[in-house]
Amino acid sequence: MQKNIALITGARGNMGRAIVDRFAADSYHVIGVDAHAGEGSTQLESHALDLMNEDAAGAFVQSMVVKHERIDVAVLTVGGFAMGSIADTKTSDIAQQYKLNFETMYNIARPVFLQMLKQGYGRLFLVGARPALTAVGSKGMVAYGLAKSLVFRAAELMNDEAKGTNVSVNAIVPSIIDTPQNRAAMPDADFSKWVTPNQIAEVVAFHASETASALRESVIKVYGDA
């Protein structure tokens, strides 16, 4: 029996590693994508890919479809962050955040989404951001908030195009994630209130399962107590 196929971008990051491990535990064959390939295994293919290169991303998806016939789940975790008020934010800053947070998502989400429509099934997960849910929430992080807001619009548009199919697109919205980097940046914070990468991975795995197949929420908030 052929295993289900999950494609994870940012597979070597804090959240990406947790999601890779969670889907591997569910006996998926995992295709891990990052800027640099890591160590593979029988359950994990590790690939290096420049997600800012649209043609390369599209060709990669097609090569994986040729190899595995389908992609059942995709979780796209790559992104970047920057602070900055209106006074501090130039169009070049917005363009940089757009590339880091939207292009890296859309360049691979689009061919994956089209493949899922073709095969008649798929669960696609994008990563949004809590500050980008409202304009006021993006205060002090203007470029980041504007770029991440497009992730929500993309999820809505894809879900609209997927109506009547067994393809769904979700934007996962974590609060502050409990990572070594965030602990170092905010040493006085109450880490117990933050959401962990493993908790996010559990939420994604649940929404990818048949148990959650009737759900059609495009935005999934994973806030913990933050």
Global pTM? 0.94
Q: pLDDT tens digits for 51-80? A: 999 999 999 999 999 999 999 999 999 999
Backbone angles phi, psi at 222, to 5 degrees: -125, 85
Distance CA 121, CA 108 (A): 17
Q: What is the CATH number of the domain that holds 121?
A: 3.40.50.720
Would you state the pLDDT for residue 126? 97
**What range does the domain containing 109 cover?**
5-222
Q: In this structure, are residues 54 and 12 in contact, taking their beta carbons and an 8 Å threshold?
A: no
In the structure, what pLDDT confidence band is assigned to residue 1 with cuts at 50, 70 and 90?
low
Give the percent of the chain with pLDDT over 70: 99
Would you state the pLDDT for residue 134? 86
Q: pLDDT tens digits for 180-222? A: 988 998 899 999 999 999 999 999 999 999 888 888 778 999 9
Q: In this structure, are residues 37 and 217 in contact, taking their beta carbons and an 8 Å threshold?
A: no
Counted domains in the chain = 1
Tokens describing residue 167: 């393809």
CA torsion 61→62→63→64, rounded to 10°?
A: 50
Q: pLDDT tens digits for 160-177? A: 999 999 999 999 999 888
Would you state the pLDDT for residue 175? 87
Give the percent of the chain with pLDDT over 90: 76
Q: In this structure, are residues 177 and 127 in contact, taking their beta carbons and an 8 Å threshold?
A: no
Residue 26 buriedness (CB in 10 A; 0-12 / 13-18 / 19+): middle
Distance CA 138, CA 84 (A): 10
Mean pLDDT, range 140-157, rounded to an integer: 95
Q: Nearest-CA neighbor of 133 among 10, 199, 223?
A: 223
